[in-house]
Each structure stands twice: as structure tokens, then as C-alpha cells.
Amino acid sequence: MIDLRSDTVTKPTKEMREAAFFTEVGDDVYGEDPAVNKLEEEAAAILGKEAALFVTSGTQGNQIAVLTHCRPGQELLLEAESHIFYYESGAVSALAGVQTRTIHGSKGAMDPQLVRSAIRENDIHFPDTGLICLENTHNRAGGAVIPIENMRQIYDIGIENHIPVHVDGARLFNAAAALGVPVTDFTQYCDTVQVCLSKGLGAPVGSILAGDKEFILKARKWRKRLGGGLRQAGMIAAPAYVALTTMRERLVEDHNLAKSLSDGLMDINGLRVVNQVETNIVVVDVAHLQMTSQAFVSELEKEGVLAVSFGPTFVRFTTHHQVSKQDIGRTIDIIARISAVPL
């Protein structure tokens, strides 16, 4: 089976499995797990922040960021199809008691002037704007890279208005790989950042939340409140460290495979690649095949390819380190065959 549903399906490498087996462990709630401490220190250095916190998932990292930055009754500014708004079960309202104000972006990037105009005036009728959230790369924009200059302008607006900026950087290392720049070129323009280690980097579990020392100290308490206090967490932190330190440089291979897939699908009648492929995500519109995305995905599965519905007629394919060039060629052949046969 060729699994292109997501880069979350990656399996840990042999080196990661060995790291989990042999690592020394301690109780992380007491700050005594050496593997966790090593991971957090390395992650903070890579991301250019003072401190970092190991969390169980990207969603948990984002929610801890909102809980730490905001107080109940505030408002959060974010792009209309961002992961925090679209895929996190309304947690910012359920947990943090904040409401969302969405801004429609272009390829996931919000217009800085629209962000500026969305910041609330000091009026008793309005909620206070408590946080601005960005997503890079942007999932529903097809893995689009939010330009560094766009981030800089929004960060400057945040500074001018004393509003922190958080980046949902679940795939931020993909953005850095796509541009061939250090990840700090992006993270210099945010107060806090969350990055996933269990997506394209292949760790079995975990994400990192990074910011200044005071923020991370408060975030650690929120992690505990959410039941995220970890005990002998070196068993997952050790493979996460391997993922962080050895898998970033190879992400461009995933991008090249995604571009090969996109090029092949463009030649198939009835299909339309809807995104400009910048990283490891390809989104295809199957509307001209007179099929729903779910029907198309079902036919693919029968032929040994897994993908996900991304809307009524959109299908998403995501490459990762367990997808080969041969897998992409076979996927293109299967899709061509399905697209040519009336169903």
C-alpha cells in the first residue's frame, strides 16, 4: 500500500527505535529525564528561542500557546483556513475562552493591512485582541510557504500594538527546506512557535513549543493542567531528538517527489492540480471526472493507494520519507487508469 494520506503516517527509523531502547530515562515532571532535557535544549537552539517544551502533539502545542498568551474573553486573529481554526475542534474557545476572528488569506498568507485593521480598538463593546496566529507551511493552501517578508510585516504590527505572534509551524522545517534557509529566518518574526516532529521528520510522537524562558515556564504549567505532564518520556524524546537532528536536511527529497507527482497528474485529462507545489503536498480537483473526492479516494484505495478527501472534489496527496520515486510512478499510473475508466 502506498500511503499518501499524510506525513503523520511515517514510521520511526531504525536509529530512532534504537534510541528509544537504549536511552536513559527519568521523571520529566521533576525535570529529571535527560533525553527530554537534551531535546528541549537542542530544539530551542535550532529555533533561535530561549527555551522549549516537549509536548505530545502539534494541537497540544498550539493550544498551550493560546492558553499561555491569552486570557478568557480575548480575541485571536488567524487565517480563515488555518489548522488552529479548522482542525482543532474549537479548542481555543472550549479551553482558553477566546473567540476567533478569521482573515481570508492568499495561499494561506494574510494581508498585513487586513491584520492591522482587524485589531480591536479600545472600546468596552469589543474584545481585546490577544494574539495573532500564523501557519507555515499552510496545510489547506497545499503546503504553501508563507513568505518571510509577510511574517516580518505582521510581526512588526504585533509589536506596534503589543500583541504577541504565535506560529503554528507544524511543517516549518519544510518551509525552511523549500527556501534553502535556516529556520531562524522565519522564527525571528514570532514570539512563539510550535513545530511537529512526528510529521515529515518521522518521530513516533511529539512536537516542540518554543519561546522565551518566562513563556515556557508558564506553558509548562498549562501542559500539566492539560494532563500532559510526562514521566519517563525519554522513550519518545530520544527518537524525537534523532528526528530533529537527522531528518531535516532530507525534506527536499519529499518536495521533489511531490513535484514529480504534480507534473504527472497535470498530464491526465479530467484532473486539475489546484496548488503550486512548494513543499510536500499536492491537491487535485477531480470535479471534471464527475466524481466526488470520497469516491475517487475509495477507487484509489482499491488499487493500493491511500489519499484523503480535502473538500467535495479536492483530494490531497502528501509525500514523506517512506514514499519512493517508484511509488510516485505507480501512483500516477493508477490515477491515470482510474481517470480513464467511466465509473
Q: What is the DSSP letter of 144?
A: B
- E strand intervals along the chain: 2-3, 51-55, 75-79, 99-103, 129-135, 165-168, 192-196, 207-211, 272-273, 281-285, 305-306, 308-309, 314-318
- Mind listing the pLDDT tens digit for each residue in 164-181? 999 999 999 999 999 999
Copy the grid coordinates of residue 329.
510512478
Question: What is the CATH code for 250-340?
Answer: 3.90.1150.10
Give the C-alpha separation, 135 to 146, whole Å: 8
Question: What is the CATH code for 10-246?
Answer: 3.40.640.10
Which sequence spans correspond to the domains of the chain? 10-246, 250-340
Strand, coil or helix: 289: helix
Q: pLDDT value at position 313? A: 97
Give the C-alpha separation, 259 to 246, whole Å: 23
pTM (whole model) above 0.85:
yes
CB 206 within 8 A of CB 56: yes
Strand, coil or helix: 233: coil
User: 311: Cβ–Cβ under 8 A, 6 or more apart, which residues?
Assistant: 293
Give the C-alpha separation, 105 to 113, whole Å: 11
Low-confidence ranges of the chain (pLDDT < 50): 343
Find residue 317's DSSP bridge partners. Answer: 282
- Mind listing the pLDDT tens digit for each residue in 9-26? 999 999 999 999 999 999
Give the C-alpha separation, 63 to 57, whole Å: 10
User: 215: Cβ–Cβ under 8 A, 6 or more apart, which residues?
Assistant: 51, 68, 69, 191, 192
